[in-house]
């Protein structure tokens, strides 16, 4: 028989699947339709106990919302612990790897559209929330230059000489050191 911890993760996975942030909801009907029907009565009891513990612990709230029916809503506390977010230096490495993967040279650019539509969705919501701070730190440290598009070209990020040296001649420890200071 599966444990309450197993069912808690199953419930939280529903929020992870939709990249939920605090305040986002999942209809209880999702669990009725996809989970509860397949469980025997004892497993159903354990599943409900798991959901109740998530509510008691302040991870989720339970609401009955008229036309939406019964819902579970993610709290701020739940959001804070929902995702395994990588440290800032690893997010920075992912940004720099966009240049590495394209064999970019100093002065070449990646369009912001490519970052916002292709790269950002690959990050979980916590990492997405931190993206701007991480990118700004890369700019402040001289690895990349941001062009907001007001200069006449589209908004983009340009690889600097320092960024070039990092992606082809150094390892991630350089970024780890930068982001620990």
**19-38 mean pLDDT:** 92
SS3 for the chain is CCCHHHHHHHHHHHHHHCCCCCCCEEEHHHHHHHCHHHCCHHHHHHHHHHHHHHHHCCCEEEEECHHHCEEEEECHHHHHHHCCCCCHHHHHHHHHHHHHHCCCCCCCEEEHHHHHHHHHHHCCHHHHHHHHHHHHHHHHCCCEEEECCCCCCCCEEEECHHHHHHHHHCCCHHHHHHHHC
* Phi, psi at 147, each rounded to 5°: -115, 115
User: Global pTM?
Assistant: 0.78
Cβ contact 24:12 at 8 Å:
no
Cβ neighbours, 10 Å, residue 152:
6
pLDDT at 181 over 80: no
At residue 1, the pLDDT reads: 78
**37-51 mean pLDDT:** 94
**66-77 mean pLDDT:** 91
Cβ contact 121:167 at 8 Å:
no
d(CA 145, CA 110): 11
pLDDT tens column, 111-159: 999 999 999 999 999 999 999 999 999 999 999 999 988 877 799 999 9
Cβ contact 88:130 at 8 Å:
yes
pLDDT at 68 over 90: no
């Amino acid at each position: 028989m599966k444990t309450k911890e197993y069912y808690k993760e199953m419930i939280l996975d529903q929020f992870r699947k939709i990249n939920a942030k605090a305040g986002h909801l999942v209809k209880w009907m999702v669990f009725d339709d996809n989970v509860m029907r397949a469980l025997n009565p004892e497993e159903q009891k354990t599943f409900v106990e798991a959901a109740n513990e998530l509510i008691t612990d302040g991870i989720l709230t339970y609401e009955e919302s008229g036309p939406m029916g019964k819902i579970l809503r993610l709290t701020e506390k739940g959001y804070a612990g929902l995702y395994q977010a990588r440290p800032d230096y690893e997010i920075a490495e992912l940004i720099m790897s966009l240049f590495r993967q394209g064999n970019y040279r100093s002065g070449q650019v990646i369009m912001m559209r490519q970052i916002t539509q292709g790269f950002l969705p690959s990050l979980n919501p916590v990492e997405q929330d931190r993206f701007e701070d991480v990118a700004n730190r890369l700019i402040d440290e001289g690895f990349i230059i941001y062009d907001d598009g007001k200069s006449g070209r589209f908004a983009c990020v340009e690889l600097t000489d320092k960024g070039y040296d990092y992606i082809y001649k150094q390892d991630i420890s350089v970024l780890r050191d930068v982001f620990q200071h």
